[in-house]
Amino acid sequence: MPIALWRETSLPRLLAGLRADVFHSPVAAVPLRAGVPVIATLHELPWASDDAAARATGDARWTHRARTALAASVATRLVCVSERTREHLLARHPEAAPRAVVIPHAVDACFVPAAPGSAEADADAALRARLGLGADGRQPLLLAVGRLRRKKNLAALLDAFAAAPAAGGLRLVLAGPDGDAADALLSRARRPDLAGRVLFPGAVDDRTLLALYRGAKALAFPSLFEGFGLPVLEAMACGTPVLASEEGAAPEVRGDAVATCRAGEPASLAAALQELLASPARRADLVARGRRHVARFDAASLAAAHVALYAACLAPGVGARRPVADPPR
Do 315 and 255 have their domain in common?
A: no
Residue 1 banded pLDDT, cuts 50, 70, 90: confident
Per-residue pLDDT at 142 exceeds 50: yes
32-86 residue pLDDT tens: 999 999 999 999 999 998 888 888 888 888 999 999 999 999 999 999 999 999 9
260-312 residue pLDDT tens: 999 988 999 999 999 999 999 999 999 999 999 999 999 999 999 999 999 99
Do 182 and 277 have their domain in common?
A: yes
Residue 242 identity (one-letter amino acid): V
Do 42 and 125 have their domain in common?
A: no
Whether residue 213 lies inside any domain: the answer is yes
- What per-residue confidence (pLDDT) applies to 319? 60
Count of structural domains within the chain? 2
Per-residue pLDDT at 247 exceeds 90: no
Do 154 and 92 have their domain in common?
A: no
Do 92 and 139 have their domain in common?
A: no
In the chain the first and final C-alpha atoms are separated, in Å, by 17
* CA-wise closest residue to 245 among 228, 262, 225: 262
CATH number at residue 96: 3.40.50.2000
Per-residue pLDDT at 317 exceeds 80: no
151-161 residue pLDDT tens: 999 999 999 99
Percent of the chain topping pLDDT 90? 87
Angle, vertex CA 58, rays to CA 55 and CA 62, nearest 5: 80
Do 287 and 312 have their domain in common?
A: no
- What per-residue confidence (pLDDT) applies to 324? 34
Do 79 and 36 have their domain in common?
A: yes
Q: Give the residues across from 77 on adjacent strands.
A: 39
Whether residue 111 lies inside any domain: the answer is no
CB atoms within 10 A of CB 17: 9
Percent of the chain topping pLDDT 70? 97
109-137 residue pLDDT tens: 999 999 999 999 999 999 999 999 999 99
Do 158 and 274 have their domain in common?
A: yes
11's enclosing H/E stretch is helix 10-18
pLDDT, the chain, mean: 93
- What per-residue confidence (pLDDT) applies to 328? 30
Whether residue 266 lies inside any domain: the answer is yes
Neighbour-count burial of 291, counting CB atoms closer than 10 A to its CB (0-12 exposed, 13-18 middle, 19+ buried):
middle
* Structural domain span for residue 225: 119-297
